Amino acid sequence: MPNMTGGQFIAETVHGYGITHVFFMPYIAPRALMEMEKLGIKRVQTHGEKAAAYMADAYARIKRGPSLCMAQSVGAVNLAAGLQDAYLACSPVVALTGREFLVNQKRHAYQEVDHVNPFSAVSKYSAYVSRPEHLPVYLRQAFRAATTGTPGPVHLDLEGIAGQGVVEQESDLEVVVEEIFAQLPPFRPEAELSKISAALQLLRRAERPLIVAGGGVTTSAARDELIELAEKLSIPVATSLNAKAMFPYDHPLAVGVPGSYSRACANQALCEADLVFFIGSHAGGQVTNSYQIPPPGTPTIQLDINPEEIGRNYPIQVGLQGDVKSSLQRMIDNAPTRPARGAWINRVQELVQAWKTGVRQHLNAEILPMRPERLCLELTNYLPSDAILVSDTGHAGIWTGTMIDLKYPEQSYIRCAGSLGWGLPAAMGAKCAQPERPVLCFTGDGGIWYHMTELETAVRCGINTVTVVNNNHSLNQEKGGVEQTYGRRTPGSDELWLFADADFARMAESLGACGITVHKPSELAGALDQAFASGKPAVVDVKTHVDGIAPRAWVPAAAAE
């Protein structure tokens, strides 16, 4: 075996797994970073550890493979906080951190805190690496753990504040890359035929079945199979935010996004269904609006690659353990075409049309400042056919999830799974994963304030994304709750959700990016043309109405009481 430093081993290994970018906050593993440069890996040095984790999260989701982020010992817990989003989104991020030398731990060493508990909360696998000769075992296991089953973040703590106890030392090391773990999913097991037959029998008999497609459909790249099965069995499809791009928005079986960030028609349809088929969905709190939709007691079928998820939140009639794409194909192969469920399909379409009618007034509103619904309509009409739409959380997730339609199968959508402020750095990670595609971030003024400094990173590294700011100078999602607490609107309640109006375009320009301000719907397309053509990262500051507050999720009357 060749003699090499741990830093060279790390660089050659991650390069072998197809990683093209590393996102990091210094000072960490400089020898590994130097070796990565030799291999052509682009080094994106950020202004905060959380931003580095967010970039790695989005990179992994768009690439559908592992990513890499790093931080030194004192910044490691900040990196762990950023990994919360990757953990919630089932994103295969490999995180490397430095750790104070073992002999100095538990002795009040400078800037030393525990890493075990923070990372155990947000990773599938975490290990301490004290010598370079241990790297072949732990680094290969990290890639294996990150990508198999339900994907997720993994973590290696390297001895030394900057990992120097591992990366600077030499050893006889052989780089072995298991290429199967460089992609998602590495394996495609099929659900058992007997279980498939039982599920098909239930779906055939049901009068009002409905599919809820989750992020596992996206991870498995099972869009075509989902459409084919739904059409063959005549079953309407609701999609979680993580599967928004997996079903055509204008398909007669399309229901929309259910749960808490939802279209009312999707929640209504789920409450009328007599059988729900969760496909690649955890049936978690958001997609079910805190386990209310579908109502408890609704018969369910669940397909997931991870058997621990099957039946976790809704008792199942049939459980299918397997990869989504391969298992759906097997269902298609074994399912006779079912005659259209005319009455049920008509009912679902009636609910969808009623929802569309109800929001049309705001979608087409000409008032100024513009309504966020109108902003979403303009973006629907503008988005390039191969665009990647990256959404922050809160109102941004509701507006993009419910109001922006993806008109082309080549378009992608990823959204924040946890922390507000994820959108801007995440868009940068997405752009690094597929630099040839246009990337548009949708966030609010509340979201962009978190990591505005990463625009300097984008300018320095040539990561040219376009960020649209739904700028209503507020956190107006909080308005109702705050004023309910106060009993009315007061100056004190205003302090908890209102901001001064800010000029994000000028801020972007001061950092070397392109900045454009939009006041009217008619100005948006031209502004976006200019932003994408600028050859720089760009911010389009759209002044929107402070009263543009997303409606609460629809729930049955009994649950609302």
What pLDDT shows up at residue 109? Answer: 86
Contact 184, 61 (CB under 8 A): no
Q: Which domain holds residue 302?
A: 193-350
Give the C-alpha separation, 244 to 258, whole Å: 11
pLDDT tier at 559 (50, 70, 90 boundaries)? low
Domain boundary (182, 202, 237) is at 182
Given a contact cutoff of 8 angstroms between Cβ atoms, the answer to whether 113 and 179 are in contact is no
Residue type, 321: Q
Q: Which residue has the tokens 């040839």?
A: 436
Mean pLDDT of the chain: 96
In a domain, 358, yes or no: no
Nearest to 436 by CA among 63, 179, 91, 66: 63
Same domain, 111 and 215: no
**Is the predicted pLDDT of residue 440 greater than 80, yes or no?**
yes
Residues 136, 33 within the same domain? yes
Residue 338's pLDDT band (boundaries 50, 70, 90)? Answer: confident
| Residue positions counted in the chain | 561
What the block records as the tokens of 254 is 């399309």
Residues 342, 417 share a domain: no
pLDDT (average), residues 342-353: 97
561 pLDDT more than 70: no
* Same domain flag for 224 and 114: no
- Contact partners, residue 343, CB within 8 Å, separation at least 6: none
Residue 1 has pLDDT above 90, yes or no: no
The reply to whether 187 falls in a domain is: no
Query: Residue 146 sits in a domain of what CATH number?
Result: 3.40.50.970
pLDDT in tens, 515-552: 999 999 999 999 999 999 999 999 999 999 999 999 99
Helix (H) or strand (E) holding 212: strand 209-213
Q: 44-55 in b/e burial notation, b at 16+ Cβ within 10 A? A: bebbbbbbbbbb
State whether the Cα torsion 410-395-150-300 is positive or negative. negative
Contacts of 34 (CB under 8 A, 6+ apart): 7
**Is residue 110 domain-shared with residue 213, that is, in the same domain?**
no
Query: For 442-456, what is the mean pLDDT?
Result: 97
102 confidence band (pLDDT: 50, 70, 90)? confident
Q: How many domains does one find in the chain?
A: 3
Alpha carbon distances (Å) from 198 to 191, 318, 508: 11, 7, 57
Domain assignment present for residue 441? The answer is yes
Q: What is the pLDDT of residue 370?
A: 97
Q: What share of the chain is helix, strand, coil (3-state, %, to 5)?
A: 45, 20, 40
* Spatial distance between the Cα atoms of 128 and 138, rounded to a whole number of angstroms: 9
* Cα separation, 337 vs 26, whole angstroms: 58
Calculate mean pLDDT across residues 344-359. 98
Using CA atoms in the order 435, 440, 446, 449, what is the torsion angle rounded to 10 degrees?
30
Distance CA 84, CA 66 (A): 16
Do 164 and 49 share a domain, yes or no? yes
The tens digit of pLDDT for each residue in 296-317 reads 999 999 999 999 999 999 999 9
- Residue 427: exposure state from Cβ atoms within 10 A (0-12, 13-18, ≥19): buried
Within-domain flag for 108? yes
Quick one: 339 and 376 in the same domain? no
Task: Provide mean pLDDT across the span 113-127.
Answer: 96
Choose the final residue of a domain: 300, 319, 350: 350
Q: 444 CB contacts (<8 Å, ≥6 apart)? A: 392, 394, 395, 396, 469, 470, 471, 472, 475
- Lowest mean pLDDT segment, chosen from 226-230, 337-341, 550-554: 337-341
Residue 78 has pLDDT above 70, yes or no: yes
Among the residue ranges 153-157, 332-336, 338-342, the one predicted with the least confidence is: 338-342
Half-sphere exposure of 428 (CA within 13 A, CB side): 35
